Structure 1
Amino acid sequence: MAGTVRQPIDEAALARYLSTAAPTISQPFTVKQFGFGQSNPTYQLTSLPTAPGGKPQHHVLRKKPPGALVSKTAHKVEREYRVLSALSNASRSESSRESSAPGVPVPKTVCLCEDSSVIGTPFYVMEFVEGRIFEDFLMPDVVAADRAAMWRQAVTVLSALHAVDYKGIGLETFGRPNGFFPRQVATWKAICEAQQKVRDVETGEPVGRLPYMDELLQYFGDPKNQPRDRAGLVHGDFKIDNMMFAREGTEVVGLLDWEMSTIGHPLSDLCNFLTKFILARQSEVAAASGITITKVAGPAGNPLAVSDPAFLPGRTPGLPSLDEIVSWYAASSGYDPRIGNELVYGMAFTIFRLAAICHGIAARYALRQANSAMARQNGLQMVPLAEYAWALVLATKKLTLKL
């Protein structure tokens, strides 16, 4: 839900710009800010009905955060706009019966502004998609049958995304098709090394280095451990709360938040989607590895657990298991990452990347750039997540993980 604007923008300047760049957006409009997300500030623009009895017009604006950015590779709203435009144009094309992007629902883009003088940083505007976003991946208000169907639908969308003819929709230069994981290792190494140097604007304390950073980088960088090359359009942050589900039914009506999208290895998306299920095995993996996972104290002393046993098999009615999801994906995509033990590498790398993302949230909080009330608490998760990533690596050397 959109509510109070926490990071104000120049609404008058925005209105002047949109009057020319996007005349289809009715004016005047009101501005509210969405509460979810910590990366790119996201706003809802609502225009009054243009005719008696009409409905309000809604659009969404996403912009880069203000201030000096810690990472030059993050917050790429221009990339979001490019991939959304390519996918929405392909799915709406009537020039051929076969779309180049079948089954990938995305909002239609309206305009991109790369001029920071308008509202402080580059931004883009897209249509608002009506539906439900489940911040709680367990979908507690959904009946078991619908919960199962929604997760199955999400896997269907994931397979469809990886089947996109990215060259056919103009994204042939969107990323390099080979060497995805070696590049990812180098990228996240550079990002973390920049983030660890950031000092808190009030205390002067540095964010610090992730635990087991050197060991993880050595493991991920070894070609003998890396998955075989595959290339496809990847979302970069594929998970339940980046999907909009229909108000009625179980259909995915929108796949959102594309700032990390690229041409890469589909294993990265699949394992990101499996994160909650991977984390649920924390006790088993920690015991097998001998690693003690740090418990982080949250508000009022409550622990911020990185593991939820509700994602273990059979704990939540209608929720598929990790094995079921991988089997669904393998059947629909033709790629089974369990062959060659590629899934283990992908799972460990996913948890490491999540630690690095939390590391970035901690850095933005240190600079007071983070735009979520939970930013500080989420940033603290970097330590147990990095520990768990290394625990996954060690555990696979001591036992065979049964998926």
Structure 2
Amino acid sequence: MATAPRPRTTTRDPEELAQRLTAWLGDRLPGAKVVDFRVPESNGMSSETLLFDIDHPEPPLRACALRLAADPAAYTIFPVYDLRRQYETMRDVARHTDLPVPRVLWLEEDPGPLGAPFFVMERVDGRVPPDVMPYTYEGNWLHSATDAERAALEESTVSLIARLHDQYPVPSPDRSRSALRAHVESQRDYYAWVVDGLPRSPLIERAFDHLTAHWPADEGPAVLNWGDARIGNIIYDGFAPAAVLDWEMAALAPREVDLGWTVYLHRFFQDLTVSFGQPGLPDFLRRDRIERRYAELTGHTPRDMEFYTLYAALRHAIVMLRVAYRQVHFKEVEVPENPDRMILHHDSLAAMVQGTYW
């Protein structure tokens, strides 16, 4: 089966970045040099991660990772990249919870040094379940693990999400404003930005209508949601979390927003794997087991999960549509007659809207 080329993730020159970073670092830590600078192949299409070491007699950190806002010239996936918000979220989560969040060191909001704002944090050693090819495919460390090892990773990951929701202090809520409605409205705004001047997606718009018609009767209290709550954003030491990464989608919302994302993002990879003729990992990160374990850990029984898994699939569809239009922009693909076909998981999203997926 032919597939479209993998979308490019950057338009930046790594050698130029290394030179500019060395100049910037020297102003903050006289005599310091950037060494072993590299761009990981696993970089996504949103903010970029750069890895380097600091050569200095007394560096505050030696092994570093740098989170760089998306290149404004590269048809960005999101309209805004608030690096201060990410930096402060990571700092505050580390301060108020026992989650293994990498230590943040420097925030640079001036786009001059590297072409966009960035922050520097500690680099944590370990391994990450791959996205390309997904960990549900054969030939990677997680797929090759035993059932007991994957169960341990699943358990520790659900525990991590539960602890974030329980431990992070949230200010007294404004009961006149629904955190969930604000969250969904922000996604409507994002969708409007994605399709501005381009073909709209009837499927995405039907999914929004379905959410409106099936709104939860009780949203419950808002907690801090990690936002991109999935195992691909965790560095594992063995099968235990060593570092929780990528906080750019963090927001106040019901607990189920994170849980729905965790459940569906695994299903996205699992469905894709099955469609290519492999069994995948059908007994891993199962919805029923995640819900049951989360309830045991927090005392909160997840509810309306069909709503929240649909919402996760919808949010992912908007991102996938933007990625597809980005490929069109770079002349990697052409727009099909039905724009819904540009959404990689259009069949599962349609089944959720119809109520037949689960």
Q: Percent identity?
A: 20
Aligned twin of 2:4? none
| Of 320, 330, 353, the match for 1:358 | 320
In structure 2, relative to structure 1, the CA distance for the partners of 1:5 and 1:312 (3 Å cut) is closer
Partner of 1:330: 295
In structure 2, C-alpha distance between the alignment counterparts of 1:304 and 1:145, rounded to whole Å: 22
SS at match of 1:117: coil
Pair 1:238-2:208 in alignment? no
Instruction: Tell me if the contact between 1:70 and 1:363 (Cα under 8 Å) persists in the aligned partners.
Output: no
Choose which of 19, 28, 53 in structure 2 pairs with 1:12: 19
Matched, 1:147 2:136: no
2:68 to 53, 63, 66: 63
CA distance in 1, matches of 2:31, 2:163: 31
More moved, 66-75 vs 7-16:
66-75
**Partner amino acid for 1:77?**
L
Q: Distance in 1 between matches of 2:285 and 2:268?
A: 15
Name the aligned partner's letter for residue 126 of structure 2: G
Q: Map 1:184-333 onto structure 2 (within 5 A).
A: 184-197=183-196, 206=198, 208-222=199-213, 224-225=215-216, 228-246=219-237, 249-276=238-265, 278-279=267-268, 305=275, 309-313=279-283, 319-333=284-298
Residues 40, 109 of structure 1: CA spacing in aligned structure 2 closer, same or farther, 3 A cutoff? same
Distance 1:35 1:77, change over 3 A: farther
Gaps of 5+ in 2: 1-8, 137-141
Shift of residue 359 of structure 1?
Answer: 1.4
Q: What is the CA distance between 1:78 and its match in structure 2?
A: 2.2
Q: CA deviation at 1:387?
A: 4.5
Pairing of 1:142-181 with structure 2 (within 5 A): 142-167=145-170, 172=171, 179-181=178-180
**Any idea what SS the aligned residue of 2:89 has?**
helix
Distance 1:253 1:324 in 2: 23
CA distance in 2, matches of 1:196, 1:184: 19
Give the letter aligned to residue 287 of structure 2.
L
Point out where structure 1 has 5 or more consecutive residues left out of the alignment. Answer: 91-99, 199-205, 283-294, 296-302, 314-318
Scaled by the length of structure 1, the TM-score of the pair is: 0.71
The whole-number CA distance in structure 1 between the counterparts of 2:243 and 2:179 is 26
Q: 1 CA distance for matches of 2:169 and 2:79?
A: 21
Distance verdict in 2 for CA 1:306–1:49, change over 3 Å: farther
* CA displacement, residues 216-255 of structure 1 (integer Å, 9 cap, x when unaligned): 2222234744651321111111101100101xx4220101
Deviation string 1:280-325 (CA, Å, 9 cap, x unpaired) is 896xxxxxxxxxxxx9xxxxxxx99499753434xxxxx3532112
Instruction: Look up the SS of the partner of 1:111 in the other structure.
Output: strand
CA distance in 1, matches of 2:341, 2:152: 31
- 2:227 corresponds to which letter in structure 1? G
Tell me which amino acid in the other structure corresponds to 2:280: A
SS in 2 for 1:191: helix
Distance 1:306 1:344 in 2: 26
* Cα contact 2:33–2:56 (8 A) shared by 1: no
